[in-house]
A = this chain, B = another copy of it.
Amino acid sequence: MTQVVTVRRRALEASEERAGVLRRSFTGSGTLVVNLISSPGSGKTTLLEATLRRLARDHRCAVIEGDVATERDADRIRALGVPAHQILTGGACHLDARQIEAALATARLLPADILFIENVGNLICPTTYDLGEDFKIALLSVTEGDDKPFKYPAIFARAEVTVISKVDLLPHVPFDLAAVEGQLASLNPGGAILRVSATTGEGMERWCELLTTRLAEKRRS
């Protein structure tokens, strides 16, 4: 068990070193990089599609997709005319910084103003892997139940932004928004919480503003 932990720590350290290299490069180019993490099916790709329809006119956007299998998500992004690269992990449950470096070396994604990285659908394993991003975004859809922040505390404590997604389905499911926001406030007092429906457009303006504000701040600093 100790050996497993030691080896995992070494793999994490190697990945963190590469993440540092990536972060310096993104700072140099003024590229805002966000790392989207959620359960499978929380609506990461649908949120990205709705986001790109709004932002890609005035900003150079690019997307790296992580999945165990299929090119489906990258195809959905490319259909919008936005450059996208699909990383297939085989069986691995998260992305790491070395995969991001390799993707950027082979795919034509840069230069970009905003690089979106959609992690493998998994609320646990991607949490500890730094990809050189400016911040992590956790998605929680209202169909997943209002007990999830306390059940998966690490990601909700670490994400600078939590997007409560699929709020158009609130009339059809038991989901106590106030309870979820209370859990998030307790785990992550400084974190932002956005209520969004990519389907109806609710909350999309605030979400896109958050991204463009953070991009402007990065360029100023």
Contact = CB atoms under 8 A, between A and B. Distances in A.
Interface of A: 1, 3-4, 7-8, 11, 39-41, 67-70, 72, 91, 93, 120-125, 128, 141, 143-145, 147-148, 150-154, 166, 169, 172-173
A85 to B, nearest CB: 17
15 contacts: A1-B11, A3-B7, A39-B39, A41-B141, A68-B124, A69-B151, A69-B152, A72-B150, A91-B154, A93-B125, A122-B122, A122-B123, A122-B124, A141-B143, A169-B172
A163 to B, nearest CB: 15
A69 B150 contact: yes
Contacts of A141: 41, 143
A12 B7 CA distance: 15
Q: How many copies does the complex hold?
A: 2
Nearest to A155: B68
A213 to B, nearest CB: 30
Contacts of A70: 147, 150-151
A143 B4 CA distance: 36
Contacts of A41: 39, 141, 143-145, 148
Contacts of A40: 39, 123, 144, 148, 151-152
A218 to B, nearest CB: 30
Contacts of A39: 39-41, 121, 144
A118 B67 CA distance: 24
A1 to B, nearest CB: 8
A120 B69 CA distance: 21
A154 to B, nearest CB: 6
A141 B41 CA distance: 9
Contacts of A143: 41, 141, 143, 166, 169
Contacts of A172: 169, 172
Given A39-B121, A69-B152, A70-B147, 4 more contacts: A39-B40, A68-B124, A93-B93, A121-B151
A165 to B, nearest CB: 11
Give the top 9 A-B pairs by smallest Cβ distance, nearest first: A41-B144, A143-B143, A93-B124, A39-B39, A39-B40, A41-B145, A7-B7, A172-B172, A4-B7
